[in-house]
Amino acid sequence: MGHFVPHTDAEIEAMLAFLGLASLDDLFAVVPEALRLASGLDLDPGLSEPEVIGRAAELAAANRGSNLVCFAGGGAYDHEIPSVVRGVAFRSEFVTAYTPYQPELAQGVLQALFEYQTLVARLTGMEVANASLYDGASATVEAINLAVAATDRPVVWLSRGVHPHWRQVAATLAAGTGHQLVDVPLAGGTTAWPDEGAEVPGAVVVQYPNYLGCLEDVAAAAEVARRTGALLVVAVDPVAAGMLRSAGSFGADVAVGEGQPFGTPLSLGGPYLGLFACRREHVRRLPGRLVGETVDAQGRRAYVTTLRTREQDIRREKASSNVCTNQTLIAVVCAVHLSWLGTGGLGEVARRCARGARYAREALLAIEGVEPAAAAPVLREFAVRTPVPGDVVVDRMAEEGFLAGVALGEEYGGGLLVAVTEKRTRAEIDAYAAALEKVVR
Q: Coil, strand or helix: which one is 356?
A: helix
pLDDT band at 59; cut points 50, 70, 90: confident
Nearest to 207 by CA among 182, 239, 246, 235: 235
Q: Coil, strand or helix: which one is 122?
A: helix
For 143-153, the pLDDT digits (tens) are 999 999 999 99
In a domain, 6, yes or no: no
CATH of residue 207: 3.40.640.10
Q: In 229-324, which ranges are continuous DSSP H helix?
A: 311-314
pLDDT band at 51; cut points 50, 70, 90: confident
pLDDT band at 63; cut points 50, 70, 90: low
In a domain, 53, yes or no: no
Say how far apart CA 76 and CA 238 lie, in whole Å: 12
CATH of residue 419: 3.90.1150.10
Which of 336, 356, 382 is at the close of a domain? 336
In a domain, 360, yes or no: yes
* pLDDT for res 34: 86
Q: Are both 75 and 87 inside the same structural domain?
A: no
Q: Are both 347 and 404 inside the same structural domain?
A: yes
Kindly give the pairing relationship between strand 416-419 and strand 406-407. Answer: antiparallel
- Nearest 10 degrees: Cα torsion 252, 258, 262, 265: -170
Say how far apart CA 223 and CA 195 lie, in whole Å: 11
Kindly give the pairing relationship between strand 180-184 and strand 155-159. Answer: parallel
Q: 203 forms bridges with which residues in the sheet?
A: 156, 231
Q: Are both 312 and 388 inside the same structural domain?
A: no
* pLDDT for res 265: 93
Backbone angles phi, psi at 438, to 5 degrees: -75, -40
Nearest to 408 by CA among 166, 72, 92, 181: 72
Total of domains in the chain: 2
Q: Are both 193 and 305 inside the same structural domain?
A: yes
Q: Are both 308 and 365 inside the same structural domain?
A: no
In a domain, 30, yes or no: no
Say how far apart CA 202 and CA 181 lie, in whole Å: 10
Task: Among 19-23, 72-76, 316-320, name the one with the lowest average pLDDT.
Answer: 316-320
Say how far apart CA 346 and CA 308 lie, in whole Å: 33
Give the CA diameter of the chain: 79
**Entry pTM:** 0.86
Q: 134 forms bridges with which residues in the sheet?
A: none
Q: Are both 404 and 359 inside the same structural domain?
A: yes
Nearest to 218 by CA among 131, 148, 125, 283: 125
Query: For the chain, what percent of residues have pLDDT higher than 70?
Result: 96
Which of 336, 354, 375 is at the close of a domain? 336
Which of 314, 336, 358 is at the close of a domain? 336
Say how far apart CA 45 and CA 1 lie, in whole Å: 10
Tell me which amino acid residue 65 is. Answer: G
In a domain, 262, yes or no: yes
Average pLDDT over residues 102-113: 92
> 144 and 167 in contact (C-beta within 8 Å)?
no
Q: Coil, strand or helix: which one is 46?
A: coil
* pLDDT for res 287: 93
Q: Three-class SS string for 128-186?
A: EECCCECCHHHHHHHHHHHHHHHHCCCEEEEECCCCHHHHHHHHHHHHHHCCEEEEECE
- Residue 59 half-sphere exposure toward CB, CA atoms < 13 A: 9
Domain that holds residue 301: 83-336
In a domain, 202, yes or no: yes
CA angle in degrees (0–180, nearest 5) for 349-71-257: 55
- Residue predicted with more confidence, 198 or 263: 263
How many Cβ atoms are within 10 Å of 214's Cβ, its own excluded?
Answer: 26
- Residue 237 half-sphere exposure toward CB, CA atoms < 13 A: 34
Q: Is the pLDDT at 220 greater than 90, yes or no?
A: yes
Q: Are both 209 and 349 inside the same structural domain?
A: no
Q: Are both 191 and 242 inside the same structural domain?
A: yes
* pLDDT for res 310: 55
Say how far apart CA 339 and CA 333 lie, in whole Å: 10
Query: For the chain, what percent of residues have pLDDT higher than 90?
Result: 80
- Residue predicted with more confidence, 373 or 97: 373
* pLDDT for res 45: 79
Average pLDDT over residues 153-160: 98
- Rounded mean pLDDT of the chain? 93
* pLDDT for res 4: 60
In a domain, 8, yes or no: no
Q: Is the pLDDT at 374 greater than 90, yes or no?
A: yes
Nearest to 384 by CA among 360, 403, 353, 355: 360
Helix (DSSP H) and strand (DSSP E) numbers for the chain: 13, 17
* pLDDT for res 426: 97
Q: Are both 373 and 309 inside the same structural domain?
A: no
Average pLDDT over residues 4-20: 90
Task: Among 319-333, 364-378, 400-414, name the one with the lowest average pLDDT.
Answer: 319-333
In a domain, 109, yes or no: yes
DSSP conformation letters of 306-353: --TTSHHHH-GGG-S-------HHHHHHHHHHHHHHHHHHHHHHHHHH
* pLDDT for res 1: 46
Q: Are both 153 and 166 inside the same structural domain?
A: yes
Q: Are both 325 and 358 inside the same structural domain?
A: no
Q: Are both 322 and 382 inside the same structural domain?
A: no
